[in-house]
Structure 1
Amino acid sequence: MLKVMFVDDEPIIREGLCSIINWEDYGYQVVGIAKNGKEGLERILEYHPDLVFVDIQMPGLNGIDMVKKVKEWKYNTKFVVLSGYSNFTYAQQSIRLGIESYLLKPVDEDELIPLLQSIKSNLLKEKRLSTQLHQYEQLKEQQEWIEILHGKRNALYDQNSMSNYFVCSITCEQPIDWENIQLYINKYFHANVTPLWMEQFVICVCTFTEIEDVYCTVEEIKKYFYTLHKISCNIQLIDELVSMDMLSNVFQQLLELQKYSFTFSYNTIITPKVCKGRKDTKILTDTFATQLVSAMEFNNIDQISVYMNDIQMYYENNLYKEERLKADWLDFVKIVLYKLQHNHPSIPLPSNDQLVDMIYKAVKLEAMLAESNSMMIKFTKEINGFMSNAENSIEQITKYINQYYFKDLSLKVIAELFNYNSSYLGKKFKAYTGDYFHVYLDKVRLSHAKKLLKQPHIKVYQVSEKVGYSNIDYFYRKFKKYVGISPKEFQKQTTLK
């Protein structure tokens, strides 16, 4: 709908123009009226009309002078002069100012309608051309920015060579309408953000001077992204100001940061500092797999969660790229399942294809580990039946003690875990192992204590805590009872050999 306005000092003329036709039927909306040239200028500044009907003769600022002033502003407003017979020649001369036409008062409907249709046609053509020109200028500027990112110098580079920028990229694992994202950024952040569509992601060159402004803008873009697509995006950010001649290096850094998007959650803005990482000792060992299987066998859901958190931290610290990380995890899961099947041949396990599908379809590390965690909990429930009725339940209890000897264990705790009456379990345990429960637990703990004491620099109180004795005096008494000498003497004898 085109916007139209009337400027005339005669109320009857203003009112007549408003009602002479149904303006909306011809594609126009009346947005304002003014009673003189000065007020007309104010209304034009306020409403930016496409078309203005203006009286040529008004007190103060006349119509011609008002039009001249608006032309100086470089507005694309069209004007139709309203005149009486006495200044008809003057009105004809005014067309030299670029006025579209003139009409004699009172305005005739049959003369007005064809004029409106002609002006509308011309306005729409001009708007299309203006839009196309604007789009061309935008595309040209974007192409120049992209050239700069690829290390080329051009006119834009020379114009902005002294400027500094923050630069980030927006990526997503799924195909989306990147052009729509670009339009949104242009609409709401055009003063500070230049979005560059790179086919599979968007680069944002930001003119903010404070990193906090960049973070706020990025969060708004992420919200819009999720609202539009119902999926989340990854943000990679160079969180320090860089000069124009550094942009090509920064672009390469962003491409490198994108390779780690799988490892970090959507809530993490990936920066060089985040990806600095540190090399952790490999934890996905055969021993770790055994511990994970034991946690499943003994229904220790909390311990499985702890292990999964450890694994996530390990991968985040070591910064494996997606393909290597998934291959590494697939190998480890196979080891876990092999051990599980060895202990429980009747448990149905997923095929290799099912494992590959589960791991390789994941778009995030946390999602992959969550899926794996669910699988392990499923196995935990399937094998957990042995705790109350399996013939080998005492054997499993001894395995549990050997695995978790350092915990606060007692016959009562074990009985509750394995669904036994504690008195009955005590008798059955003694019959199976030859030792009372507390004696068996002491032997296991002290066996591990002896191994630890062979390390010359470890303290006795540290060994006591590690094997499950919170009271060091009690540890001393137990150790001397079963070994014959104190822990300190044992450490001296073994470390001197």
Structure 2
Amino acid sequence: MIREGLQTLVDWGKYGFAVVGAASNGREAVEKHAALGPDLILIDIRMPGMDGLQAIEEIRKTDAVCHFLILSGYAEFDYAKQAIAHNVDGYILKPIDEDELESYVERISTRLQKQSEQQLNAEQSTMLLREEMLQQLAAGKLDPNLSSTQELKTLLGAPAKYYQLLLIELYSREHSLTMNATLKKKLAEIVEQKQLGFVFSAEPYVGVLLKDFLLQNGSREQMKQWIEECCGARVRFAAAASDSVRDPGELQNWTPAVRGLLKQRFMLQGQQIHLASLFLHGKQSEEPIQSEAPSIDSLAQKLYYMLDIGSKDGIDKALQEASEHICAYDISEQFVKSSWAQLLTIVLNKATASNPGVSVQEDLSMVTALYLAHHYDEMIDQLRKRLSDLAAKIGKSDSLSVMKQMTDFIERHYSENIKLETLADLFNYNSGYLGKMFKNYTGEHFNTYLDQVRIQHAIELLQEGLKVHQVSERVGYANVDYFHSKFKKYKGVSPSSFKSVSGKPASE
């Protein structure tokens, strides 16, 4: 009856309390304390099995902060002395005085509120200090005299066997100023709830200090999924992680490698967590291995030829070769993009000049898309697709025989410096074998066939009124004397014999 009356005797909610349980004896009180963890217990002295003082003594073994109000009909001083020894808040005699009880409850409520505020302030101070130290750690500016002290480890909570630093860079077409704050808040809810470590600001990155959650195999994939969920569909990320260490202070030694890796973000694969240790151990070259700048013109010529014959495999091969040459010289985003833009412009100008169906606008959109790419592999994949589509549009049919494609190619490019080796590379044949196939198909050696095509076009140009030196250059002979000798060899007369007279073509 008294227990039920106590629940309504005081307006518990007024003082911030809620009644969470009741027990009929001391042993049950100890069990319910363990299960419910209350802030205040009202307890009688005389109870069967275990009395109130024994119950308080048992509870004090595990809880030094719980508040107690003793209710008793016994006023002996010995009980009061024992209650004081157990650090109780009040000793109320039965019958219970309602005002006295409420006065005690109000005082305890005030103390609890102050303790709560102090605890909150202490937690906030700890969070701010931990955030500041983790920021210094991620920037490589943590005081070396402090990095291995107990203070840092205390701020990180329960000790761990391994610690690991993760830095995340976010980027988006929308350039939202709140991206980092949003990721920090959402990822912290996951990481800190699972007690895996701490999430902090490490501008321009979001940092994560992980405890006993090594980023390898499945755990790295799990962290990637959490980051993607927190970022949403519109925000992209690239992340780099240190190796695992035993002492959190040692993470500062990894800071330059982790930050250096993110500076190469354009060359990294997006939506992935990259391990700095793999890069340090030579699995990714950070330095150029080629001292001479790549020949953009020759790389562009090869790519254009592949485009011209409509070879998707050839386009892939030419893109791969160009990629190797450019990246071997310099992997900075600015150099790589400007080199590819230059190469692509040459290719598209050639394609536009020989194919009226290719618009300048199409050229511009392809180059613009190149500059907007966030990652190198995405840029190359995009180029491959766009060029393959263009090859299907302007390239010559793959269904034609290789020999027919070769003769058509010569007809289109006779004025350029093409060689049998050029076509062997284009069509992926051994040059000696291809030369024999060509001789069997045309009845002429490759160079002879090329000369004859050039001479035939030279005659057409001469009859249009062009001068001999102009014609020589137009059909691919840089030296006029050499052109004369070739012309006379095949036609038996000099080029001038075919020049038009008064607008009428000369006869042979």
TM-score bin (small chain): 0.5 to 0.7
Aligned partner of 1:37: which letter?
A: G
Aligned partner of 1:292: which letter?
A: L
More divergent stretch after superposition (297-306 vs 363-372):
297-306
Aligned to 1:40: 29
Residues 332-343 of structure 1: matches in 2 within 5 Å? Answer: 332-343=343-354
Count of residues paired in the alignment: 404
- The 3 A distance-change label for structure 1 pair 262 and 186 is same
Aligned to 1:233: 237
Cα deviation code 1:26-79 (max 9, x no counterpart): 865554443333333333233322333322332444333433444453554333
Match of 2:384 among 356, 373, 386: 373
Match of 2:73 among 59, 82, 85: 85
Q: Does 1:136 align with 2:125?
A: yes
- The 3 A distance-change label for structure 1 pair 442 and 79 is farther
Distance in 2, matches of 1:111 and 1:313, equals 87
Q: Does 1:325 align with 2:320?
A: no
Residues 475-486 of structure 1: matches in 2 within 5 Å? Answer: none
Cα deviation code 1:371-411 (max 9, x no counterpart): 333432443344359999xxx99735866966643359xxx
Aligned partner of 1:46: which letter?
A: A
Cα deviation code 1:322-377 (max 9, x no counterpart): 33332332222222223323333552124897566423332222222233334324
| CA positional deviation for 1:258 | 1.2
Aligned partner of 2:74: which letter?
A: S
- The 3 A distance-change label for structure 1 pair 237 and 19 is same
Distance in 1, matches of 2:19 and 2:448, equals 94
Distance in 1, matches of 2:91 and 2:231, equals 52
Cα deviation code 1:209-260 (max 9, x no counterpart): xx95666544333222111222453221233647667544321222111112
Match of 2:194 among 177, 188, 192: 188
| Identical-residue share of aligned pairs (%) | 19
- The 3 A distance-change label for structure 1 pair 186 and 316 is farther
Aligned partner of 1:185: which letter?
A: V
Aligned partner of 1:223: which letter?
A: Q
Q: Secondary structure at the match of 1:64?
A: helix
Aligned to 1:395: 408
| CA positional deviation for 1:98 | 5.0
Aligned partner of 2:132: which letter?
A: Q
Residues 353-372 of structure 1: matches in 2 within 5 Å? Answer: 354=365, 357-372=368-383
Aligned to 1:259: 263
| CA positional deviation for 1:445 | 11
Distance in 2, matches of 1:264 and 1:304, equals 23
Aligned to 1:406: 428
Distance in 2, matches of 1:285 and 1:347, equals 22
Aligned to 1:168: 166
- The 3 A distance-change label for structure 1 pair 356 and 305 is closer
- The 3 A distance-change label for structure 1 pair 442 and 186 is farther
Whether contact under 8 Å (2:348, 2:363) holds in the other structure is no
Distance in 1, matches of 2:66 and 2:364, equals 68
Whether contact under 8 Å (1:259, 1:321) holds in the other structure is no
Q: Secondary structure at the match of 1:373?
A: helix
| CA positional deviation for 1:171 | 2.3
Distance in 2, matches of 1:324 and 1:294, equals 24
Distance in 2, matches of 1:154 and 1:441, equals 85
Distance in 1, matches of 2:326 and 2:302, equals 19
Q: Secondary structure at the match of 1:371?
A: helix
Distance in 2, matches of 1:41 and 1:49, equals 11
Distance in 2, matches of 1:35 and 1:320, equals 76
Q: Does 1:199 align with 2:187?
A: no
TM-score, length-scaled by structure 2: 0.62
- The 3 A distance-change label for structure 1 pair 241 and 96 is closer
Distance in 1, matches of 2:64 and 2:224, equals 36
Aligned partner of 1:405: which letter?
A: F
More divergent stretch after superposition (288-297 vs 67-76):
67-76
Distance in 2, matches of 1:319 and 1:273, equals 20
- The 3 A distance-change label for structure 1 pair 340 and 353 is closer
Unaligned ranges ≥5, structure 2: 154-160, 173-178, 413-421, 431-436, 450-508
Aligned partner of 1:274: which letter?
A: F
Aligned partner of 1:188: which letter?
A: K
Distance in 1, matches of 2:144 and 2:348, equals 57
Aligned CA RMSD, in angstroms, stands at: 4.8
- The 3 A distance-change label for structure 1 pair 405 and 364 is closer
Distance in 1, matches of 2:448 and 2:258, equals 54
Match of 1:286 among 289, 297, 304: 297
Aligned partner of 1:45: which letter?
A: A
Cα deviation code 1:418-472 (max 9, x no counterpart): xxxxxxxxxxxxxxxxx9995149955999xxxxxxxxxxxxxxxxxxxxxxxxx
Cα deviation code 1:138-189 (max 9, x no counterpart): 3223433444531523445233899975433222224322531345433323
Whether contact under 8 Å (2:25, 2:50) holds in the other structure is yes
Q: Secondary structure at the match of 1:197?
A: strand
Match of 2:279 among 267, 274, 277: 274
Whether contact under 8 Å (1:166, 1:214) holds in the other structure is no
Aligned partner of 2:128: which letter?
A: L
More divergent stretch after superposition (328-337 vs 87-96):
87-96
Unaligned ranges ≥5, structure 1: 1-11, 409-434, 448-497
Q: Secondary structure at the match of 2:255?
A: helix
TM-score, length-scaled by structure 1: 0.63
Whether contact under 8 Å (1:178, 1:197) holds in the other structure is no
Whether contact under 8 Å (1:294, 1:403) holds in the other structure is no
More divergent stretch after superposition (274-283 vs 147-156):
274-283
